[in-house]
């Protein structure tokens, strides 16, 4: 959880960004990989006048400062910062896809997202976050509030 808190501190220092609400932190079962420790996940809202491309550059700089090395997809890492939704923008290029292309399939994203914005509508799917979460099975995607066992 300390890495998440540190990342939030660093996001607060991005010129042109203001951090907003932060969901509770969750321990989450790894999805799509075997043998990894459970992760800590949360969602934070940001207000910015930066473009999505400029913001992701800033977020990746934070990841690098915190020790992330991009050696292989889904490798264990000290921090992973994503742009899940950027207003109503829809971006699809090799460097950035917004909304995040897998967010609607991941409880570790949707549970904390619903804490912040249950009625937020996915700009591509046209469904509220709470409805996307309700449609997902829990099997293989356990999400536990930090502090609970």
pLDDT digits (tens, 9 = 90+) for 83-116: 999 999 999 998 899 999 999 999 999 999 999 9
Share of the chain above pLDDT 90, in %: 81
Q: How, if at all, do strands 44-48 and 39-41 pair?
A: unpaired
Residue 149 has a pLDDT of 61
Query: What is the topology classification, in CATH, of domain 2-145?
Result: Alpha-Beta Plaits (3.30.70)
Give the count of alpha carbons within 13 A of 142, CB side only: 9
- Segments making up each domain of the chain, as ranges: 2-145
pTM (predicted TM-score): 0.92
Which residues are tagged catalytic?
68, 77, 80, 82
For residue 55, give both structure tokens: 């913001």
> Residues near 54 by Cβ (< 8 Å), separated by ≥ 6?
none
Which uninterrupted H or E stretch holds 134?
Answer: helix 129-135
Q: Helix axis angle, 52-65 relative to 2-11, nearest 10°?
A: 130
């Amino acid at each position: 959880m300390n890495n998440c808190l540190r990342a939030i501190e660093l996001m607060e220092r991005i010129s042109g960004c203001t951090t907003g609400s932060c969901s509770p932190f969750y321990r989450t079962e790894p999805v799509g990989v075997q043998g990894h420790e459970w992760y800590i996940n949360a969602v934070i809202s940001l207000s910015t006048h930066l473009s999505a491309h400029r913001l992701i550059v800033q977020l990746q700089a934070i990841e690098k400062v915190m020790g992330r090395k991009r050696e292989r997809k889904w490798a264990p890492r000290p921090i992973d910062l994503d742009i899940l939704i950027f207003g109503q923008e829809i971006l699809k290029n090799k460097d950035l896809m917004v909304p995040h292309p897998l967010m609607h399939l991941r409880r570790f994203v949707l549970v904390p997202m619903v804490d912040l914005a249950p009625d937020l509508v996915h700009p591509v799917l046209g469904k509220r976050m709470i409805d996307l979460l309700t449609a997902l099975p829990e099997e293989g995607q356990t999400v536990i509030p930090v502090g609970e066992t």
